[in-house]
Amino acid sequence: MPKPAHDHPHPRTLILVDIQNDFLPEGALAVPGGNEIIQVANRLQNRFDLLVATQDWHPANHSSFARNPPHRKPGDIVQLGKVEQTLWPAHCVQGTLGAAFPPRLIQNRLDRIVKKGTSTEVDSYSAFFDNARLKATGLLEYLKEKRVVEVYICGLATDYCVKHTALDALSLGFKTWVVEDACRGVNLQPYDAPHALQAMNKAGIKIVSSRHLPF
Ligand code: VGL
Ligand code: ZN
């Protein structure tokens, strides 16, 4: 049995990023092979004391949706205030089945669920801040309160929310690991996911397989 988190001075922490129906192959913003990570993520949970899951949680009029004004097509890039925004098919609308966790994902041990992308005007790839860095989600305070020093990150998608969450975790001072076989990428361009892993590694994030965790 893993030790309960409160017994641990620095709980081993896993952040499960956006493992939601809309990012599975049948979903609105399908991530190829997204379903393959659920088993890996379930098994990983047993190795950690503290489990955080994020949910992309958009209002129906979210500005990252191509269907909303100014009505472009998915993949187009627009300027939202100061930040560039890739437009996506409508996905993970608050309260819909697409935004829910897949039933196969074990959820009864989740300590905290972080919802992000909830403001209409700005997207949030990172679990810590929105893309314009106007607002924090509260995840940083939560991890500090739990005395977390090191985070392991997995989920969907490697080239967007996993990458931005990991880079923010690192820059906020956490020793940061990405469990690569528990991630899949959107790959709008071929090799986006491997390039994202390369960029994360170069920044100082450790890329590891679930079979070779250092504990
Ligand atoms: C994501 C694109 C749009 C992700 C979320 O979870 O990686 N990607 N919204
Ligand atoms: Zn989104």
- Around ligand 1, the residues with Cβ closer than 6 Å are 18, 56, 88, 156-157, 160-161
Ligand 1 atom at minimal distance to the Cα of residue 58? 9
- Condensed to tens digits (0 to 9), the pLDDT of residues 152-164 reads 999 999 999 999 9
pLDDT at 103: 98
125 CA to centre of ligand 2 in angstroms: 7
pLDDT at 2: 58
Identify which ligand lies nearest to the alpha carbon of 88. 1
pLDDT at 174: 98
62 CA to centre of ligand 2 in angstroms: 9
- Look up 183 and say whether it is catalytic: no
Domains of the chain, each with CATH number or no CATH: 13-59+91-212 (3.40.50.850)
pTM: 0.96
DSSP per-residue string spanning the chain: -PPPGGG-SS--EEEEE---GGGSTTSTT--TTGGGHHHHHHHHHTT-SEEEEEEE-B-TT-TTBTTSTT---TT-EEEETTEEEE-B-S--BTTSGGGSPPTTS--TT--EEEEE--STT----SSSB-TTS--B-SHHHHHHHTT--EEEEEEE-IIIIIHHHHHHHHHTT-EEEEEEEEEE---SSTTHHHHHHHHHHHHTPEEE-GGG---
Ion ligand 2 neighbours (CB, 5 A) are: 56, 117
- Look up 115 and say whether it is catalytic: no
pLDDT at 5: 47
According to DSSP, the β-strands at 13-17 and 50-56 are parallel
- Look up 116 and say whether it is catalytic: yes
Q: How many residues does the chain have?
A: 215
Q: Which residues of the chain are under the pLDDT cut of 70?
A: 1-7
CB atoms within 10 A of CB 137: 19
- Condensed to tens digits (0 to 9), the pLDDT of residues 61-89 reads 999 999 988 888 999 999 988 899 999 99
**How many Å apart are CA 140 and CA 126, to the nearest integer?**
11
Nearest to 198 by CA among 163, 168, 172: 163
pLDDT at 70: 82
